[in-house]
Structure 1
Amino acid sequence: MIQFAIVGCGHIAAKHVEAIQSVSGANLHTVCDTNRNNLLQFVELYGVPQWTTSFEDILNDPTVDVVSICTPSGTHAHLAIQAAQAGKHVVVEKPMALSLEDADAMIRACRKHHVKLTVVHPNRFRPAVMELQQAVKQGLFGKFSHINSTVRWNRGQGYYDTASWRGTKLMDGGVLMNQAIHSMDLLLWLMGPIHNVQAYTATMLRNIECEDVAVALLNFENGAVGLVEAATTIYPKNYEESISLFGETGSAVIGGPTANWIKHWTFEGMSKEDADSLIQRVNEDPFGIPGHQHIVADMVEAIVHDRPPVITGEDGRNALKLVLDIYQAAEHYKSTVV
């Protein structure tokens, strides 16, 4: 059994517990949080056998194989590097870090100490997205013309007020770093590297340091252009997350409140009956096996078979870099406006 320890007992940690408990070959050994009250509530809710308020206890425990980092984003790098130095494999929530320097330091530390590093980008494992990736891989779109990605969600002021670190530049980031970074990962996974970026960001409705609205125009190295729209200002609740690809011989749209449903699927040489059959099959079970479960299972297999995880530290770095490039482009735009 591969023994996992979870660090940070906030909302996202629950998905890690459920994933670990669902994967054959994985076992939840310990959870850790510096807030004792939160920790004990979490332990009681999920029936975790062992707990500690000291990260050092996990680092010094030879039975722990993997550390799952579920703490605020600004703490990821420090904890991941410590875990790697202690010989622990690392599963880290998105974004893997808030700077490329920290991301690079995490990758170097894991490489130096011969441990695996994976970043939680679970949207890759949605059934509709996997079908989309296969269509891209098979060349069904022909030459791409453009791609559109939207995250039109709601995060009210109460969400940010639940913790002092939310919405801060030092520990969290805005809608791009927090909510839309999964879409950034998908864009790069599906379309490849980006040549240049133009962007605008704004803080329109929320009392936070970072952006709650962002738009960006991307130019991919394959010649396609992309449009990104992301916001946490949608009233009164989450409205849409979507990704749309358009090419000379195919069009596809994945959407819904979360990008789990095939809304449009048309390719040259594919009959309407075949397209409708695929859409029906995917939409009957649009969530499939949870992405976190895929990631935990992949880490177990990567350790057992000594191979890299499917989602690598470099993948996490690429998504982070795109967000930072959008920030930089937006700042450049603001500096040119008189």
Structure 2
Amino acid sequence: MSGTNFAIVGCGHIAKKHAEAIKNAPGAKLVAVCDTVPSNMTFYIEEYGAKGYESYDELLLDHNIDVVNICTPSGTHAPLTIKAANAKKHVIVEKPIALTVEDASSMIEACEENSVKLSVLHPNRFRPAMIKLKKAMDKGKFGKLSHANATVRWNRNQEYYDQAPWRGTKSLDGGVLMNQAIHNLDLLVWVMGDVEEVYSMAATRLRHIEAEDVSTGLVKFKNGSLGVIEAATTIYPKNYEESLSVFGEKASVKIGGRTANFIEHWEMENVSEQETEKLVNEIKAEPFGKPGHQWIIEDMMEAIKEDRSPIVTGEEGKRALELVVALYHSAETGKPVKINEGR
């Protein structure tokens, strides 16, 4: 597909990934950027020839824009998405889709009412190892599922949180679950299915922030299998591990490494050691593949052309959010929480 014009709203750190993905996606073009701080837009104006807007309302009047990429603090995603939808712009929104399930539902409803597409940035689904795992799950290679383990052991020091006043706040950012671990939790529900009930504990141990810097949780999935969640930004002195492990009656798999890109364990019934070794080496040779942001950009372009839903829809983004909200609710009350009660 050719001729899809994109605008980036919020020119902070993550915006550069969006700009690079748009640049590398055939037929895509970055035509506009928006930020309340003019100097933040300079790079994109000079490097990509994008038009700069200090006013979001003015940007939305630009009829040359097809898709708005929202890269602002998480707490602002809902009003910006709803405005874009009302202006008949398709939307790609950074994770998490929003900070409340109510906001996420409003975003989805606004896009549906205006017949525009909504896609949420969960790029880790497109890692080669994760694609292999998902295909194995969909083919029933695991048999009856036993349990899964989602782990994020990372470091975000105090300097990270001090970069901007919104970082680590409950109203605009959230803690390790909402910010860092939500990608891993998206993978968990993508692979294991819908969650029925959670029980969680959380704490703010080492960072001077409003939200949690460490969280643990237990999960019961609707299919009867169980899950364990561990997430922290308190790991000394740097990122240690992100992993997803899945166990069933016919298979055991762990995708790990610092950012869950490598097959650390892969055993399946009727799969020989030679086949397994070949798969492990294939992933090791190309663990990252095409960047996930580029996958999302190209998928949005195809979704518009084919008039279909994007791969990672607003509803998909809401599933991961519902899990995080339920975990928060459980940690606050000290009680197990049914997933719909977490809303």
Decide: shared fold, TM above 0.5: yes
Sequence identity (%): 56
- CA deviation profile, 1:116-175 (whole Å, cap 9, x unmatched): 000000000000000000110111111111100100000000000010000001100000
1:11 maps to which residue? 13
* Aligned counterpart, 2:100: 99
- In structure 1, what is the equivalent of residue 295 of structure 2? 294
Q: Secondary structure at the match of 1:283?
A: helix
Distance 1:269 1:104 in 2: 43
Amino acid at match of 1:251: S
- The aligned residue for residue 305 of structure 1 is 306
User: After TM superposition, where is structure 1 displaced by more than 4 Å over at least 4 residues in a row?
Assistant: none
**Residue 27 of structure 1: aligned partner:** 29
User: Is 1:79 matched up with 2:95?
Assistant: no
- Look up the match of 1:70: 71
Partners in 2 of 1:301 and 1:205 — Cα distance? 44
In 2: Cα distance, 1:41 partner to 1:334 partner: 48
- 1:205-224 per-position Cα deviation (integer Å, ceiling 9, x unaligned): 00000000000000111111
Between the aligned partners of 2:263 and 2:159, the Cα distance in structure 1 is 32
Determine the C-alpha separation between the residues in 2 that align with 1:51 and 1:36.
Answer: 8
1:79-158 equivalences in 2 (<5 Å): 79-158=80-159
Report the Cα offset of residue 42 of structure 1: 4.5
**2:178 aligned counterpart, secondary structure:** helix
How many corresponding residue pairs? 334
Offset of residue 41 of structure 1: 4.0
Q: CA deviation at 1:58?
A: 1.5
Question: Residue type matched to 1:76 in 2?
Answer: H
- Maintained 8 Å contact 2:25/2:294: yes
Q: What does residue 56 of structure 2 align with? A: 55
Provide the C-alpha distance between the structure 1 equivalents of 2:305 and 2:253, rounded to a whole number of angstroms. Answer: 37
State how far apart, in whole Å, the 1-side matches of 2:50 and 2:85 are: 24
TM-score (norm. length: structure 1): 0.97
Aligned 8 A contact 1:31 1:48 in 2: no
Distance apart, 1:48 and its partner CA: 3.3
Residues 136 and 190 in structure 1, CA contact (< 8 A), matched pair in contact too = yes
Distance 1:20 1:47 in 2: 10
Answering whether residue 235 of structure 2 is matched by residue 234 of structure 1, we say: yes
Q: Residue type of the partner of 1:161? A: D
Aligned counterparts of 1:48 and 1:31: Cα–Cα separation in 2: 10
Structure 2 unaligned spans of 5+: 337-343
* Paired residues for 1:238-253 under 5 Å: 238-253=239-254
RMSD: 1.1
Q: CA deviation at 1:49?
A: 3.0
Contact 1:151 1:180 in 2 (8 A): yes
Deviation of 1:332 after TM superposition, in Å, equals 1.5
Question: Once the two structures are superposed, what CA deviation does each residue of 1:76-118 show, in whole Å capped at 9, x if it has no partner?
Answer: 1010000000000000000111111111110010000000000
Q: Could you tell me how far 1:43 is from its partner in structure 2?
A: 3.3
Structure-2-length-normalised TM-score: 0.96
Q: Tell me, in whole angstroms, the C-alpha distance in 1 between the residues paired with 2:138 and 2:7.
A: 36
